[in-house]
Amino acid sequence: MPSGLKLVVVGGGSSYTPELIQGIIAHRSDVAVERIALVDVTPGAERQRVVRGLAERLIKKSGLTIHVEEFLDLKQALKGADIVFSQLRVGGMKARARDERIPARYGLLGQETVGPGGFANALRTIPTALEIAEAIEQICPKAWCLNFTNPSGMVTEAILRHSSVRTIGLCNVPFNIQAVLATVLSKRVEDVSLLMYGLNHLSFVRRVLVEGSDITDVVLAFLRANGQGTAQANIQYIPFSGRVIEAIGLIPNDYLRYYWYTREMVRRQREDLEAGEGTRAIRVMAIEADLFRKYRDPHVTEVPSELAQRGGAHYSDVAISLMLALVGGQVQEMAVNVLNQGAIDGLGWDAGVEVTCRVDQDGAHPLAIGAMDLPVRGLIQQVKAYEELTIQAAVACDRAIALAALIANPLVPSAEVAENLLDDILLENQADLSRGWSR
C-alpha cells in the first residue's frame, strides 16, 4: 500500500472540504495520506483557515497523523503533490447568483451547470482551470488531477484538450443513482453496478447489474410503476413519469428534469423568486453561513449533518473511490468524465463524456457503449456541440463563438434571446472573466 501521499485541495475553503477529510479518515486502511495542502485565493483565506481548523480536529479525533497546511500560493501548495482535487468557484457564490438571476430575466432557467448559467460559469472557470493545469505541469507533472469544479464536464474536457495533465472529472450524481438503487433493492452499494453514458449532468443508465446479474428490466418496471427518480438536494424534485421512462427505456440523470420538464422548473423558480426565497445560490449562502458557524466552533469534531443540504452528497465517496483506484491498487468501475476515445458512437474521439470506466493505476478506461439510444441521441449531440463551442469561446475569448454556443444550447429559445443573454453575461461578469474579453 502506498504511503506518504500528499493531497492538494484547490478551493480549500470550500464547505465540501471537511467531507473529503472525513472520507480520507474513513478509508485510512486503504490508502495512507501524510499531508493535505489546502490552497485558495485571498478572498477565501478566512474560510480556508476555518476549514483547516475543523480538518485538524477531525484528524486528531481519528487518531491519525496527517499534517494539514494552508496556502494562498498555488505553486507552493503543489510541490510534491500526488493527487490534486479541484473544487474551485470563480467569483464565488455571488457569481453563481448572477448565473441564476440573468436567465430568469428572460423567463429561462437559471442554474449553475446547465443552460445560460452553466455557460457563464464555464466562461469564468475554464481559463482559471487551465492556469491551474499549467502550474501542475510545471510543479508536479506526475500528479493526478481530480476535477469536481463545475461545469465539470466542460472544465475536464478543456484541461484534457489543452494540457498534458492527467485529469479525471468526477460527479456525485452517478453514485447517487447507484446508492438509491441499492437502497430500493436492499443491496450494498458495491453490489450494484451501472453502465452509464452521456455527458456530465446529461447521462443515462443503460444497464443495471446486481452481483453480476442484469436486472435492468426489473428496475425500469419499478420506475414505470412508481414514477420515481432520485432526489438531489440542489434540484427541485419532479418525478419522471412512468410514460417517460417507458418511452426512453433508460434511467435518466436527475438533471434531465431541466430539459424534459423545463416549463415546470421555470415556474417553480419564478414562484421562489416571487415569494422572496431567492435563487438556489441565495439559499446556499444561508446554508453555508450556518455551516461555517459550526465549523468555527472549536468543540465541533465531526462534519455537521447540515452539509447534506448543501448538495453534492457522496462527493467524498466518489473522490476516495477514484483515489483508491489510481494510487491504492483497488480497480474500480465507475462513471466519470473522460475523453470519449471511441467509446460512444456519434461523438468525437476527443469529446468530453460521462461514461462508465474501468479505473486503475493507469487512469480511467471508458467501456465500449456503441450506438447511443435513439430517444436521447439528438439531445446529447446538441448539448455536446454547445459544450465544445463554449470551451472554444472561453479559451479564445471570442464573442462570435460564444454567441454560437448560446444559440446551440437547447435551453435558449432563440438567437435574439441568445444575443441579449451574451451581452448581459459578458457585462455583468467582466470582473471575473479573462482579460481577453475586454478587447
Query: What are the extents of the domains in the chain?
Result: 5-169+280-319
Task: Return the biggest CA–CA distance within the chain.
Answer: 60
Backbone angles phi, psi at 209, to 5 degrees: -115, 135
Number of neighbours of residue 328 by Cβ within 10 angstroms: 20
Which cell numbers hold the place of 341? 476515445
Predicted local confidence at residue 232, as pLDDT: 55
Which cell numbers hold the place of 95? 457569481
Residues 6 or more apart whose Cβ sits within 8 Å of residue 355: 196, 197, 198, 203, 335, 336, 338, 340, 343, 344, 366, 367, 369
Which cell numbers hold the place of 136? 501542475
Q: Which has the minimum average pLDDT: 130-134, 280-284, 344-348?
A: 280-284
Angstrom distance (rounded) from CA 360 to CA 353: 18
Residue 308 pLDDT exceeds 90 = no
Angstrom distance (rounded) from CA 439 to CA 437: 5
Predicted local confidence at residue 301, as pLDDT: 95
Average pLDDT over residues 349-354: 98
User: Which residues carry out catalysis?
Assistant: 255
Per the CB < 8 A criterion, the answer to whether 125 and 155 are in contact is: yes
Which cell numbers hold the place of 350? 476527443
Distances (CA, A) of 179 to 251, 357, 424: 14, 18, 40
Number of neighbours of residue 263 by Cβ within 10 angstroms: 9
Which cell numbers hold the place of 246? 417507458
Distances (CA, A) of 214 to 207, 219, 414: 7, 10, 43
| Whole-structure pTM value | 0.95
Average pLDDT over residues 184-207: 95
Residue 104 pLDDT exceeds 60 = yes
- The beta-carbon contacts of 262-268 under 8 Å, at least 24 apart in sequence, are 262/109, 262/411, 264/238, 265/109, 265/236, 265/238, 266/107, 266/108, 266/109, 268/236
Per the CB < 8 A criterion, the answer to whether 122 and 155 are in contact is: yes
Predicted local confidence at residue 158, as pLDDT: 98
Instruction: Report which residue type is found at 352.
Output: G
Q: Confidence band (pLDDT; 50, 70, 90) for 311? A: low
Which cell numbers hold the place of 208? 443495471
Q: Reply yes or no on domain 5-169+280-319 having CATH 3.40.50.300.
A: no
Residues 6 or more apart whose Cβ sits within 8 Å of residue 133: 145, 159, 162, 163, 165, 167
Angstrom distance (rounded) from CA 149 to CA 9: 11
Alpha helices in 249-279 (DSSP H): 256-260, 262-274
Per-residue pLDDT tens for 381-425? Answer: 999 999 999 999 999 999 999 999 999 999 999 999 999 999 999
Cα angle: 291, vertex 176, 206; to 5 degrees? 160
Instruction: Report which residue type is found at 125.
Output: T
Average pLDDT over residues 322-338: 93
Predicted local confidence at residue 128, as pLDDT: 97
Angstrom distance (rounded) from CA 154 to CA 169: 9
Per-residue pLDDT tens for 236-275? Answer: 678 899 999 999 999 999 999 999 999 999 999 898 888 8
Query: Measured in whole angstroms, how far is the alpha carbon of residue 263 from the centre of its chain?
Result: 24
Per-residue pLDDT tens for 45-85? Answer: 999 999 999 999 999 999 999 999 999 999 999 999 999 99
Backbone angles phi, psi at 398, to 5 degrees: -110, 115
